[in-house]
Copies of this chain bind each other. A is one copy, B any other.
Amino acid sequence: MTASIGVGLIGTGYMGKCHALAWNGVKAVFGDCARPRLVHLAEMTQDLAERRAAEFGFEKATGDWRELVADPDVDVVSVTTPNAFHADMAIAALEAGKHVWCEKPMAVALADSERMAAAARASGQVAVLGYNYIQSPLMRQIEALLREGAIGSVNHVRLEMDEDFMADPEALFYWKSEASSGYGALDDFGVHPLSLLQTLFGPVTKVFANLSKPYPDRPTVEGTRRPVETFDIASVLFEIGEGISGVMALNRSAWGRKGRIALQIFGSAGTIVFDQERFNELQVYSAADRQSLQGFRTILAGPQHPPYDRFIPAPGHGLGFNDLKIIECHELLRRIAGEDARVIDFEKGLEIERAVHAMAQSHREQRWISV
């Protein structure tokens, strides 16, 4: 990983800042790559772009993202704008010969996601999605445990993802309750646990979903109430692999849950339990332990779980959410350098989108759908 790469960043909100921090930190953390050049930053206005460029350390700033895409100094484009813009920006960047690091999900409409995957294929460039939760050291540890058969053959999986940013029934109606934003928890959220499933077990094969609304309507600025069009809750049955049954429950109106992505993996020789709210911990039960000492082990992340060691040499000190993005950035650089990398590229991302749309179809048609 030798050549220094020119970075363009479109968007500087929640995820935009995460990307900026990752681009700032990746070389100092990992050491084994060239220091990325922070070349160009695009925002809604020239003024905002300039302020953010100064903050994030980018050389040029623009109020027109197409300028950034056209910039020959830019090799890779971070797309961190609202979902509605992903397709146009990612495709333009790929067509301009840039690599793309696009935030999840791909797009609201399946057709757009398909166009994105096609553009990536056609371009031959690297196109990677921002599924940061697959990057945590203990998620890799889970993968390693599964591969080596530490819990035997997996036969059942449960996933939950819950947050409470939509939990207040009297919070004002905003775009996340509009049908144009998508289905609701399913695409807003579900893609995250699905990215973990993908990484651990491959694509979902069969789904049955029930979407529901905790609140039928919400107040508007005008003092009226407007019907909610999206589903903040999703309950899904699924199958993966060779007859592994699963349950996935999503709720973005779940008071008290802040960043919960809970995973329970049951196997013929043990069980693995994980919760993203405590992502520096992993629980493993092994039926191979001596009987009077059998119990769930709480394993703290440490240098024995790479790439934790690149951040901190001592165990149990804890990585943070933003560190996951630094790891993701490093994996992107590895992919660009032609190395083996742990990423969800547009092809795999498309499989996740297909699963999501199949779930929505299942809800409408009230039957199992094969993905």
Q: A266 is contacted by which of B246, B254, B302 (Cβ under 8 Å)? A: B254
- B260 close to A237 (CB less than 8 A): no
A274 within 8 A of B: no
Query: What is the bound-complex CA distance between A291 and B292, given in angstroms?
Result: 21
- Residues of chain B contacted by A57 (CB below 8 angstroms): 27-28, 35
Contact count band on A? 35 or more
Assuming A55-B27, A268-B214, is B318 touching A318 (CB within 8 A)?
yes
Does A174 touch B at the CB level, under 8 Å? no
Query: What does the 1/0 interface line of A244-280 toward B look like (CB < 8 Å)?
Result: 0111010101111111100000111111000001111
A residues 322-349 near B (Cβ < 8 Å) are: 322-323
Contact in complex: B214, A155 (CB < 8 Å): yes
Q: Is the interface of A mostly helix, strand, loop or mixed?
A: mixed
Whether the Cβ atoms of A28 and B14 lie closer than 8 Å is: no
Copies in the complex: 4
A24 at the interface (CB under 8 A from B): yes
Evaluate contact between B156 and A212: CB separation under 8 angstroms: yes
Q: Which residues of B contact A25 (CB under 8 A)?
A: 21, 24-25
A297 interfacial contact with B, CB 8 Å = yes
A223 within 8 Å of B (CB atoms): no
Interface-located stretch among A70-78, A91-99, A161-169, A352-360: A161-169
Known contacts A144-B292, A295-B299; 19 additional CB pairs below 8 A are A14-B313, A27-B57, A28-B56, A152-B169, A167-B268, A233-B245, A247-B247, A254-B266, A256-B295, A256-B296, A257-B316, A258-B302, A259-B300, A294-B297, A295-B297, A311-B320, A312-B322, A318-B320, A319-B321
